[in-house]
Structure 1
Amino acid sequence: MATVDECRDAMHELAARLAGNADAQNRLDLERTVACRLPDLETAFHGRLHNGQLVDITDGDDPKAKIALTLKSDDFLALVRGDLDFARALAGGQMRIKANPFDLLKLRKLL
């Protein structure tokens, strides 16, 4: 099982990757709150998407987040490293996403 610090670092790594993708793709117009829930660690992180970038990342959950990912900490690290395919994780039940389907389509442009 990964540690909270490893997951926090991975969240910031994900934010850096999204920022690079947002710059390369003419900024995606999507303003949403985001939560990443890691039940095996009993922790969560949240932030917000702003112009295709993940900003204001902090510890703790946002129960009102418009986009929420729920997965195990090891799967989260594998996802961020690129060792776990997003679509396979979702289809295989390793990850759950609560989001508007239109938001998911927009997010695919960033990932």
Structure 2
Amino acid sequence: MNLIFVLLVSFPLGYFLASRTTAVVAYVAAFGPLFTFQTLSLVIDWTEGSTAAFGGPFPSSDYSNVAGYAAVNLVLYLVGFGLIMLGHRLGAKRRVRRAVGQAVSLDPIR
């Protein structure tokens, strides 16, 4: 779920929003609740006996898979920031080209 979000949302935020700060704040504001919802869903499944997300049954003294889950999500989070920066750089080039192409002539009409 987070992977899909990162790939579909982060680059367009950087590309279409002129302010990099606004793009980053929007990404953080959207990623936080999504991450919380995904984690809650996986923990509920884990407490019911599913081993798909965290490997072993609940409760377990081996939390290495939980740390792996956190590491993967941290990497996804950072990849999203990278895509925002890339999108902002490409979007800035597009905005400059558009502004140069739409220059207004101040010469009087003859």
TM-score, scaled relative to structure 1: 0.29
Larger Rg computed on CA atoms: 2
**Structure number having the greater helix percentage:** 2
TM-score, scaled relative to structure 2: 0.29
Bigger relative contact order, structure 1 or 2, given CA contacts below 8 A and separation 6+?
2
**Structure number having the greater strand percentage:** 1
